[in-house]
Chains A and B, each alone.
Chain A
Amino acid sequence: MDKEKTIELKKILKTRLNRPMRYYIDTCTRCGLCYDTCHAFNGIPKKEYSPVGRAEVVRKLYKKYTRPGGFLFPYWSDATKLSDTVMDQVYEAAWSCTGCRRCVVNCPFGIDTGQMMGVAKQLLIANGTAPEELVMLADAAVEKGKSIDQFKDGYRNVIRDLEKEVQKKLNLPAPDGLIPMEKKDANILYVGLAGAHSIVNPAIIFNAAKENWTLSFFEAVNFGFFAGDPEKAQFIAQRIIKEATALNVKEVVIVECGTAFRILRALMGKLPFKVSSIVEVIHRYLYEGRIRVKEGAVSDAVTYHDPCQLGRNGGVYDEPREVIRKIVTDYREMSPTREQNWCCGGGGGLVALDNEEFRIKTGKPKKEQIVATGAKIVVTACENCVSQLKTIQSGYGLNVEVKYLTELVCENLVV
């Protein structure tokens, strides 16, 4: 590694040394309680895939460059210099972590390995060894944010086609205005994804609930965050915040995407509008009587997979369960569940990478959980989780169907 690169990487280490990072670097006692709390370690039992093993890769760099002890006596704390070999270790650590934060709830000090892996990912970008797919997707999202006017007409045409699907489902006479866009003072700005399902199903629900809503021009997914680029992550999130502020909406509702939800709800500081997940909104409509579902319509055994960013990191546990219980007669809880639920292995941008074999192996604890429930349908509320659960399903030959929560609701909506 050349001198200039080392200087650049050291600068990143120092700029990212914020208050939480200082705690995380100095507090870990390497007690090992987190060791097997990671799904990746359970699938592939290597030290490098344990939370402490990952965190130590970054911690040792910090010790070397920001701690006098690490500088003077590197042997004692195993402080390591930046090198190509170390950057390979950084890659292995960062890109095996989904940021599910299961290790955080199992650490006696609450050390957030996900945050440390955020630093690792930024180091990889600067080193030029970050996964290209994600960097390109982040760049595309940034470009769209800069020149949104060029995209608007094309997007409106796509949405007109989707309105027909909404019309068909709701048996309405005309499709016009079923997916409103750029509507000022709406109650809700809904932020979907690129896939039609992420717009059609929520649109059916919003129309059934007679909601005053509007659709965002942007996708909720934040590839800047996945890639580990804080500037791009900020820009991508700000596109939605600016749009919501300009439209003067009361609430921004995020598609079934755990990370997008957490970024806007928890990581962007105080916002002038409420941020909700579509799951919470469906629950609200059901309990306010604004929509109705065919109660007990599904007799197959159903289980729910808590997306980590929605459950453990977002606190949305009860709403999806209550919605599902209204529709199904045989609901089965996974074990362990809620904050101890196993990550599926697809989060943190991993599902967008060419790493299927790795994801199948690290999806082992999730596979075992699903099999143990005996469920025929696995419901979840996150795009990444659905993709990964389908990979697990095909990888292990499971006889289960994977569904979005919105899909289950729409299939059983009383119209």
Chain B
Amino acid sequence: MWSKIFYFAMVPMVYAAFAVLIGGLLFKLAVVFFSKKFPGSLATYPKRLPRPIGVAAEAFAVPAAWKKDKVFWIFIIAYHVAFVLLFIGHLELIREFRALQIIPHDVFLGAGSVGIVLIITVLYFLFRRFRSPWREISVPEDFLILILLFLTMFIGSHLHLSARLYAGGGAFDIPVEAYREYLSSLVAFKPVVPSGIADSPHYVLVALHIFLANLVLMLIPFSKVVHMAFAFLSLNLRRK
């Protein structure tokens, strides 16, 4: 029974999550591009940098946060940088990318620090919402997403740290090769859950981690997390 549930979370649900993510984002973007354009200009002034550079600067450096709340800015930047590293780390769990190994490093990147940074920043974002005035402007969805992210990252980080602690054959070590076998089989549409994962005492946590990550992926197009795509578009409007 449990093995069927774990298998569901680790195989069919992963495909479903990616289908919802990609389909949802494409649908959202298609709806946007087929919707009525604004006939005039929504620009604000001064426009200090050329449009593409200005949009990129505002999206990646978030000067609006820097001017207003430097602590918040540090957490925003730390979270987003860690998220990029997390993404790279997961790519390397599929297979080795030579381009990513220009600076040689262990897989997963960051020796555990990436997960810790993500957990701390997500907790900051979450607890910030319990204080006024953020409490008044928050809606349940804001808490739900942060709790989901926290749980996903906490379990993922735990799996990584225990693998590092028990590296070389300890009870809780799930080697990189096992993840690569699993993830590359998913990519090749010949899914298997290898014994390196299925026989590990941490199998339940791997399945839970993937289950939660699936939920996050499916939520992206239909929640405020879509700002990862729309931020560039709305910032572009301000410079048109």
Q: Which residues of A contact B (CB under 8 A)?
A: 17-20, 22-24, 26-33, 35, 47, 50, 52-53, 56, 67-69, 75-78, 101, 104-112, 115, 266-269, 311-315, 317, 338-339
> Residues of A contacting B134 with CB < 8 Å?
30, 32
**A33 to chain B: closest CB distance in Å?**
5
Bound Cα distance from A255 to B2, whole angstroms: 75
Contact status of A315 and B46, CB under 8 A, knowing A26-B230, A27-B231, A269-B40: yes
Judge whether A267 and B39 touch: CB under 8 Å. yes
CB contact under 8 A between A27 and B40, given known A107-B64, A108-B58, A317-B45: no
Closest to A60 in B: B139
Q: Which of B39, B46, B224 contacts A27 (CB 8 A)?
A: B224
Question: Interface residues of A: mostly helix, strand, loop or mixed?
Answer: loop
Chain B contact residue count (CB 8 A cutoff)? 47
B133 touches A101 (CB 8 A): no
Residue in A closest to B47 when the chains form the complex, CB atoms: A315
B42/A115 in contact, CB under 8 A? yes
Q: How far is the CA of A68 from the CA of B136 in the complex (A)?
A: 24
- Asked whether B46 lies within 8 Å of A338 as measured between CB atoms, the reply is yes
Contact for A108 among B37, B62, B141, B237, CB less than 8 A = B62
Name the residue of chain A whose CB is nearest to the CB of B55.
A110
Q: When the two chains form their complex, are residues A18 and B38 in contact, meaning their CB atoms are under 8 A apart? A: yes
Interface SS, B side: helix
Beta-carbon contact of A56 and B137 below 8 Å: yes
Q: Is B204 an interface residue (CB 8 A)?
A: no
A-side contacts of B136, CB under 8 Å: 47, 53
- Asked if B44 contacts A339 (CB within 8 A), the reply is yes
How near does chain A come to B46, taking the closest CB pair, in angstroms? 7
Contacts of A111 in B (CB 8 A): 234
Contacts of A35 in B (CB 8 A): 133, 137
Q: Which residues of A contact B65 (CB under 8 A)?
A: 31, 33, 108
Q: How far is the CB of A269 from chain B (nearest CB, A)?
A: 5
Q: What CA separation (Å) do A17 and B138 show in the bound complex?
A: 23
Task: Please list the residues of chain B having a beta carbon within 8 angstroms of any beta carbon in chain A.
Answer: 28, 31-33, 35-47, 58, 62, 64-65, 67-69, 72, 133-134, 136-142, 144, 222-224, 226-227, 230-231, 233-235, 237-238
How distant is A24 from chain B, measured CB to nearest CB, in Å? Answer: 7
* Chain A: CB-nearest residue to B230: A27
Can you name 16 A-B pairs with beta carbons within 8 Å? Answer: A18-B35, A18-B38, A28-B224, A30-B138, A32-B134, A35-B133, A53-B136, A56-B137, A77-B140, A78-B139, A112-B237, A268-B40, A313-B45, A315-B45, A339-B45, A339-B46
**Which of A23, A29, A108 counts the most B-chain CB atoms under 10 A from its CB?**
A108
- Given A267-B39, A268-B39, verify A109-B234 contact (CB < 8 Å): yes
Q: Please, which residues of chain B bring their CB within 8 A of the CB of A77?
A: 139-141
Contacts of B67 in A (CB 8 A): 106
Chain A residue nearest to B68 (CB atoms) is: A33
Given A269-B40, A311-B45: A110 in contact with B140 (beta carbons within 8 A) = no
The residue of chain A having its C-beta at the shortest distance from the C-beta of B38 within the complex is A20
Interface centre among A26, A52, A269 (most CB of B within 10 A): A26
Residue of A with least CB distance to B144: A76
Query: How many Å lie between the Cα of A56 and that of B40 in the bound state?
Result: 24
Contact partners of B235 in chain A: CB under 8 A: 109-110
Contact B137 A110 (CB under 8 A): no
How far apart are A317's CB and chain B's nearest CB, in angstroms? 7
The answer for the CA separation of A26 and B67 in the assembled complex, in Å, is 24
- A residues within 8 A CB of B42? 20, 112, 115, 266
Q: How far is the CB of B67 from chain A (nearest CB, A)?
A: 8
B221 CB, nearest partner CB in chain A, Å: 9
| Min CB–CB distance B93 → chain A (angstroms) | 28
B224: contacting residue among A29, A105, A339, CB under 8 A = A29
CA distance A266 to B144 in the complex (A): 40
Report the separation of the CA atoms of residues A110 and B141 in the bound assembly, to the nearest whole angstrom: 22
Cross-chain contact of A104 among B142, B223, B238 (Cβ < 8 A): B238
Residues of B within 8 A of A69 (CB): 222-223
Q: Would you call B224 and A30 a contact (CB within 8 A)?
A: yes
Chain A residues in 8 Å Cβ range of B234 = 20, 23-24, 27, 109-111
**CB distance A75 to B140 under 8 Å?**
yes
**A315 and chain B: residue at smallest CB distance:** B45
Assess the A266–B43 pair: CB atoms within 8 A. Answer: yes
Known: A104-B238, A110-B58. A32 touches B137 (CB 8 A): yes
CA distance A78 to B65 in the complex (A): 26
